[in-house]
Amino acid sequence: MFDKILIATRGEIALRIHRACREMGIKTVAAHSTVDADAMHVKLADESVCIGPAAAVDSYLNKANIIAAAMLTGADAIHPGYGFLAENADFAEMVEAHGIKFIGPKPQMIRQMGDKINARRLAQEAGLPIIPGSALLHNVDEALKSARQIGYPVLVKAAAGGGGKGMRLAHNEKELPQAFTLAQNEARKAFGNPDLYMEKYLETPRHIEVQILADDQGNVIHLGERDCSIQRNNQKIIEETPSPALNAEQRETLGRMTVSAIKKLGYTNVGTVEYLYQNGQFYFMEMNTRVQVEHPISEMLYTFDIVREQIQLAAGLPLSVKQENLRPQGHVIECRINAEDPTNFRPCPGKITGWHVPGGLSVRVDSGMYAGCVVPPNYDSLVAKLIVAGRTRNGMLLRLKRALGEFVIEGVQTTIPLLQEVTQTSDFVDGRYHNHWLQEFLDSKKQNNNK
């Protein structure tokens, strides 16, 4: 097992990794930017190294500085968490070339799954159904030709994309040229790669994903599915498990199909296979080769430490449990709380002057914030994740209502009021929602307010 792990990320996931390491008797090094010097995980880590100024490109995306910090402190592994360099194959190769273990899948697999066009091909070869789509698109003319074959509406997507960036919808030929240009510009800015492809746009899909874990001995398990359909700008804000849209037979089929594909791909470590689900049919969308933001709901449903297992897998240990011994219990939901204006999602950085998190049975809060700390303007606006479990879905939602009502964050605006409103709508309570539901809900609210 590793003696010391350098944590090459920030925020709540950095603290989550530190806690897993501490429970395993592993020392930690917090690699941080100048503005994160007072972050909770930096305060708690055994050692800390400043890797650069606030701008992510000079710190959390600075490969050389991170590797130098690991070598300076004698860390024998680097955990990238999520975001930043977590799915950067070049970084993973550099880490391994310096005799340091990268806690994640093999660089080759990161590269293959990071190319969304290649990932579609590999998924199809592994037996997964895919959405009708195109090959790599070099120009608008190729896009127009492909769209005529696929049928409108279509979604233009970044080949190196993720997080909802580099995506544009076109309902017809008139809209497609502008959608192509906007998606290309955003892809170039966000990923340094302007390559695009196209998929058929599904009108009312749900976003269903499967958490998998795989060891070097060829064993693979899954931790059920997560329903991540409550999204704004293609970014998740609420996730729950199990999905209220699936029955037991569909759930079993999805898990078995996903595990079979992962085995054929030869994938190792932790990952998530994401699908769109509509009219009883699953379509492979992409695979995330890292730990997910929403991993805690799977942990609570199965009473299973995903981050600890991820570290053990990186050390070459076999999976600690077999699929037949995994027993999900109840229902779990996660609300992402962002420092944003809940009416327009405008980021609201600043100093947190008051901080009180809810507690009680089956209530978990993952956050690196505290009273007196500052939410910087330089990074993602996520400040906390509220995770709530219940024996029944209704009991879970009642507990969530109570917990959101107890959560106090002062000094910055947050999305708590919106989360309270959304989770109490009849559509959400009844499980009748899809990927575009939240935008429709917000549009309806806006229209009513303008009357």
Give the C-alpha separation, 193 to 185, whole Å: 9
Render pLDDT for 287-344 as a digit per residue (tens, 0 to 9): 999 999 999 999 999 999 999 999 999 999 999 999 999 999 999 999 999 999 999 9
Render pLDDT for 123-137 as a digit per residue (tens, 0 to 9): 999 999 999 999 999
Bridge pairing between strands 154-162 and 165-170: antiparallel
In Å, what is the CA distance from 221 to each residue of 258, 312, 414, 435?
Answer: 9, 15, 36, 27
Quick one: pLDDT band at residue 369, thresholds 50, 70, 90?
A: very high
pLDDT value at residue 448? 83
pLDDT value at residue 210? 98
Longest dimension (CA), the chain: 64
- In terms of Cα–Cα distance, which of 87, 106, 20 is closest to 288? 87
For residues 270 and 212, the answer to whether their CB atoms sit within 8 Å is: yes
Give the C-alpha separation, 385 to 161, whole Å: 24
Which one of the listed residues 16, 168, 206, 290 is annotated catalytic?
A: 290
- In terms of Cα–Cα distance, which of 198, 442, 451 is closest to 342? 442
pLDDT value at residue 434? 97
Angle, CA of 395, 397 and 400, to the nearest 5° = 110
- In terms of Cα–Cα distance, which of 69, 64, 67, 61 is closest to 101? 67
At 7, is the secondary structure helix, strand, or coil? strand
* 57: its two tokens: 């490109």
In percent, how much of the chain has pLDDT > 70?
100
What class does CATH assign to 206-450?
alpha beta
Lookup result for tokens 């992510």: 56
Give the C-alpha separation, 160 to 181, whole Å: 16
Question: Does the pLDDT at position 409 exceed 80?
Answer: yes
pLDDT value at residue 447? 86
* Phi then psi dihedrals of residue 340, to 5 deg: -145, 155
Average pLDDT over residues 197-223: 96
Render pLDDT for 169-199 as a digit per residue (tens, 0 to 9): 999 999 999 999 999 999 998 888 999 999 9
Q: Which fold has domain 132-200?
A: Dna Ligase; domain 1 (3.30.1490)
Quick one: pLDDT band at residue 65, thresholds 50, 70, 90?
A: very high
Q: What is the mean pLDDT of the chain?
A: 96
Q: Please confirm, yes or no, whether 120 is among the known catalytic residues.
A: no
* 359: its two tokens: 């507690």
Average pLDDT over residues 399-424: 98
132-200 matches 4-103 in CATH topology: no
Average pLDDT over residues 204-214: 97
Domain parsing of the chain, residue ranges: 4-103, 132-200, 206-450
Residues recorded for the chain: 451
At 67, is the secondary structure helix, strand, or coil? helix
Contacts of residue 203, defined as CB under 8 A and 6 or more positions apart, other chains included, come to: 153, 278, 436
pLDDT value at residue 233? 85
Question: Does the pLDDT at position 67 exceed 90?
Answer: yes
* Phi then psi dihedrals of residue 37, to 5 deg: -60, -30
CATH of domain 4-103: 3.40.50.20
Average pLDDT over residues 211-221: 98
* Phi then psi dihedrals of residue 324, to 5 deg: -65, -15
pLDDT value at residue 164? 76
Number of H helices, E strands in the chain: 15, 20
Render pLDDT for 26-50 as a digit per residue (tens, 0 to 9): 999 999 999 999 999 999 999 999 9
For residues 407 and 356, the answer to whether their CB atoms sit within 8 Å is: yes
Quick one: pLDDT band at residue 58, thresholds 50, 70, 90?
A: very high
Question: Does the pLDDT at position 163 exceed 80?
Answer: no
Q: What is the H or E stretch that residue 302 is in?
A: helix 295-302
Give the C-alpha separation, 103 to 4, whole Å: 12
